[in-house]
Amino acid sequence: MTAETTLKPVANPRASFFRRLPVVSHFNKSVGLQRFMLVVGLVLTGIFLLTALAAPLLAPYGFAQLSDADGNFPTQQAPGGKHLLGTTVGGYDVLSRVIWGTQTALLVIIVAVVLSIFAGVILGLVSGYIGGWLDRILVVVADAIYAFPSLLVAIVMAIVISGGQSSLLGGILAAAISITVVFIPQYFRVIRAETIRLKAEPFVESAKVVGASNIRIMTRHIYRNATRTLPLIFTLNASESILTLAGLGFLGFGIEPSSAAEWGFDLNKALADTTSGIWWTGLFPGLAIVWTVLGLTLVGESINDLNDPRLRGRKRTGRKAAAAAPGTRAGSGPETELSNP
């Protein structure tokens, strides 16, 4: 027995857990164009998140600030000088409004996603596992909800919650609740389908034999296996949340500038500037929306492709040849895992 056969690398459980994380595992499986799309999406989304978290440090002024030590800000000033992206018709600094708007968008994403996941996952687990008349009723309700446009629901919620007054809390709740209502059926259907499939698996039958309760089976055995596709729905949910919030602001049901910065409201106020050749008041908020939605969409589409073996790319065959080159042995180490099934 040689030292080569006795010495085996010890697996690091922390490294193994890190490699199984949703985005990390998808990155390891990606190649070519799929990896490029995933990396671009992660970069754009990362910039959005970092900007939202560091907005107080990055923004030169407050989102509702109209003056400084030198006096009031000029209105509709072209980009340059103290105002790198110019000012609006109301005298707000465009750069500051765009940066602070990331925080408002992030708040809407968090509230909408948390509410959607909490309700959709629970309903999907209960409906798929219990079945019967409860399952039929929930499926009919979920199908009926698809008939309601998310923006129309958001307008109704804005009127009901804040009485048409565009406050920070009212605008965020209106967008988040409308997105929650529309996206609960998506979480519900995905989790329900996985639950129906998993409850017939042998490990669930074994848990029933040893006397495990239904709640324990759903939370400990089915939940972990049924929620693997949630990252894809999460990215779509987040993108829709931003678009709905921007749509509310553009239609006049968004958040007033004195309460928070919101890109859709700024676009609404920039409409009158376009005929006068003032392009900067609408360009940069619009680019912020496109930037954020594009990043989230690229991440979601990449994860969707990588979850489907039919769409997943493969490593170059040249790497296989390198693994089988002289001096290497099949199954001797991590070099053998250079292509994904």
Q: Inform me whether the pLDDT recorded for 19 exceeds 80.
A: no
Structure tokens at 91: 């005298």
Question: Which among 22-31, 70-79, 119-128, 284-293 has the top mean pLDDT?
Answer: 284-293
According to the model, what pLDDT value does residue 17 have?
57
Residue 251 and residue 201: Cα distance in Å, rounded? Answer: 50
Query: What is the average pLDDT score of the chain?
Result: 77
pLDDT score of 90 = 84
pLDDT-wise least confident of 49-53, 91-95, 206-210, 279-283 = 206-210
The model's pTM:
0.75
Q: What is the C-alpha separation between 27 and 293, in angstroms, rounded? A: 20
> Is the CB of residue 259 less than 8 Å from the CB of residue 127?
no
Each as own residue / partner, the long-range contacts of residues 61-67 (CB below 8 Å, 24 or more positions apart, any chain) are 61/93, 61/96, 62/96, 62/100, 63/92, 63/96, 63/97, 63/100, 63/101, 63/257, 63/260, 63/261, 64/92, 64/257, 64/258, 64/259, 65/92, 65/93, 65/96, 66/90, 66/91, 66/92
| Domain map (residue ranges) of the chain | 101-308
CATH code for the structural domain at 101-308: 1.10.3720.10
Over 50: is that where the pLDDT of 126 sits? yes
